[in-house]
Chain A
Amino acid sequence: MEAIHTPFDQLLEAVRTRADWAVAELWRDLHPRLLAYFRAAEPAAAEDLAADTWVDVARSLHRFEGGEHDFRRFAFTIARRRLIDHRRRRFRRRTDPVASETLADRPATDDPAASALGRAALGVIGRLPPEQAEVVLLRVVAGLSADEVGRIVGKSPGAVRVIQHRALKRLAGLLDEDAL
């Protein structure tokens, strides 16, 4: 379901001039993806990481050139860096200041059942090895191709396909285990 209906170049130009309608349209498209990405990776800091990502996107907005998919890749490149920075900081502190949130605590918005299922799915994806979880999230949540994911994570498209293949097998195994 695409939230962007305006031609992207016009939308981007309007966002650069701080047009409310354009920011809202971009926000509706990108923010849920960022939140889902961060909730699967770092549930406790997902909101903060998403907000930090938006600020960084805004600061670099005048340098960006490209279409909608390029913008999404650009945003998730920043998101991934924020995630790495966050984990690095957390490793230095060696403490987890906030207890892990359960995905079920989040209220549903559109369809409660689907949303609850999605949050549960995010939890299962979060149990994958970090490399596999990252590839699955960028493919599913960000809606990027294997090539685009490879450019973000610094791997070849072939390597990304190998990782996603293993991730799907592992995910199926985990869900099968949970069902048992």
Chain B
Amino acid sequence: MFPAMQDRSVPELDDVTADRLLDGAVAPDDAPPGYQDAARALHATALLASETPTRDGTTAVAAFLDAIPTRRTTRMKKWKIAAATLAGGLTLSTGLAAADVLPGPAQDVASSALSRVGINVPDGNDGSTNVSTKKEPKAEKVKDDTSPSTTHPENHGSVVSDVAHDESNVGADHGAAVCTTASDGKCKAGETHGSSSTNSRSGAGSSNSSSNSSSTNGGSSNSSGSSANSGASTDGGASTSTGSSNSSGSSGSSSSSGGGSSSNSGSTSGSSGSSTNSSGSSSGG
């Protein structure tokens, strides 16, 4: 007979009664019809589960007792974990302090604490630390105000070009205007020779010399960036700038080419004063 067919002969049972049967809350004689034997079996099973064990337990009990971790063992494990964590933290902190990569206040604390145990590490204000050493080049770069990218707006070149094309000024005044604009007022064009040499030299000296040579040949004069070359190029005073000028605005450089009129000896030979300047003006004439 199939089990399913067997089940059909057993009357239905509601969930509450089923729960009560399994909980042992229904006496076998009080069980629903067809379930008295099942209730009796469940009752006997529950009794079996509560009988006192009398044999075969000694070895199992001993194994159970051996397997119980003692409180001391548990505490020792916790202490070991705590000690290992502390040691690791101290090693890491000391290493970071020795490498001088901690933030300033933390470095000070670490330095003072470690100095008590005879370990010398730099403090947060120590100038010889790695951090300050790394910062120094950056500071120098900031101080380098001759860099065109940091001192001039992006349209500086076009501004200089506009001034160069401005025909309201002629001659030395024109050159001085261009110079002043190009150098942000640092140019000393038009002043007594020699006094302007130091300022002019603050620019890129190498480019000055090249422009000087071209200007004496009656070629074009180039002023690049914020250098005071352009100012110096007009330093000759006597020359007339009639040529066109090209400027590249973004780089802040402008070049003007004149018909051999511009001269620029003052800037390159600033230290030597006006002697070279006169040569520029003579060639322009």
Nearest Cβ distance between residue A69 and chain B, in whole angstroms? Answer: 13
Known contacts A59-B69, A141-B46, A141-B48; 7 further A-B pairs (Cβ under 8 A): A2-B50, A27-B57, A31-B53, A109-B52, A161-B15, A168-B13, A173-B10
Report the count of interface residues on A (CB-CB < 8 A).
64
The interface of chain B, by Cβ under 8 A from chain A, is: 1, 3, 6-7, 9-10, 13, 15, 18-19, 21-24, 34-35, 37-38, 40-42, 44-57, 59-61, 63-71, 74
Chain B residues with Cβ below 8 Å from A79 are: none
CA distance A139 to B19 in the complex (A): 9
What number of A-B contacts does a CB cutoff of 8 Å give?
173
Assess the A176–B64 pair: CB atoms within 8 A. no
Q: Are B15 and A165 in contact (CB under 8 A)?
A: yes
In-complex Cβ contact of A172 among B38, B49, B53, B67 (8 A): B38
Q: Given A18-B65, A168-B18, A173-B6, answer yes or no on A141-B45 (Cβ-Cβ < 8 Å).
A: yes
Contact with B along A41-73 (1 / 0, CB 8 A): 000000100110011111101100000000000
- Contacts A173-B6, A173-B9 given: A168-B41 contact, CB under 8 Å? no
Enumerate chain A residues within 8 angstroms of B34, measured Cβ to Cβ: 172, 176
If the complex has contacts A16-B68, A31-B53, A161-B15, are A172 and B35 also in contact, measured as CB distance less than 8 A?
Answer: yes
Contact in complex: B57, A31 (CB < 8 Å) = yes
User: Could you name 21 residue pairs across A and B whose Cβ atoms are closer than 8 Å?
Assistant: A3-B50, A3-B52, A51-B59, A51-B64, A55-B63, A58-B65, A59-B67, A61-B68, A109-B52, A115-B51, A118-B45, A118-B48, A136-B22, A136-B42, A141-B45, A142-B49, A168-B18, A172-B37, A173-B10, A175-B38, A176-B10
Interface of chain B, helix or strand or loop or mixed?
helix
**Are A161 and B18 in contact, with the CB atoms below 8 A?**
yes
Smallest beta-carbon distance A172→chain B, Å: 4
Q: Is A80 an interface residue (CB 8 A)?
A: no
Does A140 contact B45, Cβ atoms closer than 8 Å? Answer: yes
Contacts of B53 in A (CB 8 A): 27-28, 31-32, 35, 109
Q: A-side interface residues toward B, CB under 8 Å? A: 1-3, 15-18, 23, 27-28, 31-33, 35-37, 40, 47, 50-51, 54-59, 61-62, 107, 109-111, 114-115, 117-122, 124-125, 136-137, 139-143, 146, 161, 164-165, 168-177, 179
The interface residues of chain B lying within 8 Å CB-to-CB of A168 are 13, 18, 21-22, 35, 38
B51 pairs with A18, CB closer than 8 A: no
Interchain CA distance A75-B34 in the complex, whole Å: 34
The residue on A at minimum CB distance from B37 is: A175
- A residues near B56, Cβ cutoff 8 Å: 47
Asked whether, in the complex, the Cβ of A140 is within 8 Å of the Cβ of B52, the reply is no
Query: Given that A35-B53, A170-B3, A170-B7 are contacting pairs, would A54 and B60 also be in contact in the complex, using a CB cutoff of 8 Å?
Result: yes
Query: How far does the Cβ of A92 sit from chain B's closest Cβ, in whole Å?
Result: 25
Q: A55-B63, A165-B18, A169-B10 are in contact. Are A109 and B54 (CB under 8 A)?
A: yes
**A52 vs chain B, min Cβ distance (A):** 9
- Pick from B13, B24, B48: contact of A32, CB below 8 A: B48
Residues of A within 8 A of B70 (CB): 17-18
**Contact A176–B6 (Cβ < 8 Å):** yes
Choice from A59, A169, A175 contacting B13 with Cβ under 8 Å: A169
Among A40, A54, A62, A164, which residue has its beta carbon within 8 angstroms of that of B64? A54
